[in-house]
């Protein structure tokens, strides 16, 4: 077994922003349940040694860990991994690092790499994918999710870029083979929330008559975006409590990707 630097799990702290979805804040439920589905789908696929890039608040660890002989999860920040479950097992390790590169991780090590809602934050997505390919074993697979650019309601200044169905497929084909372009879709309840969210965002952005959201450097917009995003989610919760709190991961499903999916859910293989 490879030896990695390990930080004590019970010392990790949760960094809460609108970009790091919470499993306890009801206003995040619409996004959280979609993220939860990605982990549940990945759990049906993974086995052997698994690397996760982007631990977040750690809610996915207990879903993936039982399916892995060794599970290493990475995040830029200290995070909160539940300690009341088997995620405290010896085969689960947390690494705090900024990627890329995947520093200290040997090549040809993992059977699967999962990375959910991360690649859109990475300045050099080419190096990011090269590093993932490096640490994967031959015939190992990457499972990646990222927002579908076509369904974004406004510019997200926390994202370096977003991808269309075609763009992500072509990017992955540069480094991997056998790309499966899948997407996460929602039922009527999800589409109802999406319509209400779109109307709310439109009311906010109507004041941006000079289109500053696209003209200003994204770093100047991150904090205002985060504040407005949180306010908007709280407002939608207060106005539609039954709808928002009633959403579960079963309201989402994975199918062949198209412009109407919320997230891209792609699987690719190192050959």
Is residue 3 over pLDDT 50?
A: no
The chain-wide mean pLDDT, for the chain, equals 90
Max Cα distance, the chain (Å): 57
Return the SS3 of 267.
strand
Tokens found for residue 266? 């792609």
Tokens found for residue 3? 């030896």
16-25, 140-149, 200-209: least confidently modelled range: 16-25
Is residue 59 over pLDDT 80?
A: yes
> Measuring CA to CA, which residue among 73, 49, 47 is closest to residue 61?
73
The pLDDT > 70 percentage for the chain reads 89
Predicted pLDDT of residue 260: 98
Long-range contact list for 31-36, CB < 8 A, 24+ apart?
Answer: 32/59, 33/247, 33/248, 33/249, 33/251, 33/252, 34/184, 34/186, 34/249, 34/252, 34/262, 34/263, 35/60, 35/116, 35/117, 36/60, 36/63, 36/249
Beta bridge partners of 49: 70
Domain 9-269 has CATH 3.20.20.70: no
pTM exceeds cut of 0.85: yes
Predicted pLDDT of residue 78: 82
pLDDT band at 233 (very low <50, low <70, confident <90, very high): very high
Q: Is residue 176 a contact partner of residue 269, using CB atoms and an 8 Å limit?
A: yes
């Amino acid at each position: 077994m490879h030896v990695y630097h390990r930080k004590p799990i019970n010392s990790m702290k949760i960094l809460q922003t609108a970009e790091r979805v919470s499993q306890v804040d009801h206003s995040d439920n619409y996004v959280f349940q979609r993220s939860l589905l990605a982990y549940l789908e990945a759990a049906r696929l993974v086995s052997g040694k698994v690397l996760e890039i982007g631990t977040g608040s750690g809610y996915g660890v207990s879903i993936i860990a039982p399916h892995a002989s060794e599970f290493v999860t990475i995040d830029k920040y200290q995070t909160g991994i539940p300690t009341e479950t088997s995620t405290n097992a010896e085969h689960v390790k947390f690494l705090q690092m900024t990627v890329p590169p995947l520093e200290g991780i040997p090549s040809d090590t993992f059977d699967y790499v999962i990375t959910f809602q991360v690649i859109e934050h990475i300045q050099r997505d080419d190096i990011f994918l090269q590093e993932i390919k490096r640490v994967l074993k031959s015939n190992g697979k990457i499972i990646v999710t990222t927002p579908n650019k076509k369904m974004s309601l406004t510019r997200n200044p926390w994202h370096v870029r977003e991808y269309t169905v075609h763009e992500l497929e072509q990017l992955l084909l540069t480094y991997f083979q056998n790309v499966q372009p899948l997407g996460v879709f929602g039922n009527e309840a999800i589409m109802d929330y999406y319509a209400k969210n779109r109307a709310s965002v439109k009311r906010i952005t109507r004041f941006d008559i000079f289109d500053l959201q696209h003209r200003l450097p994204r770093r100047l917009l991150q904090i205002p975006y985060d504040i407005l995003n949180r306010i908007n989610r709280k407002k939608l919760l207060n106005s539609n409590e039954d709808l928002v709190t009633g959403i579960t991961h079963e309201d989402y499903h994975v199918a062949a990707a198209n412009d109407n999916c919320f997230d891209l859910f792609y699987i690719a293989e190192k050959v």
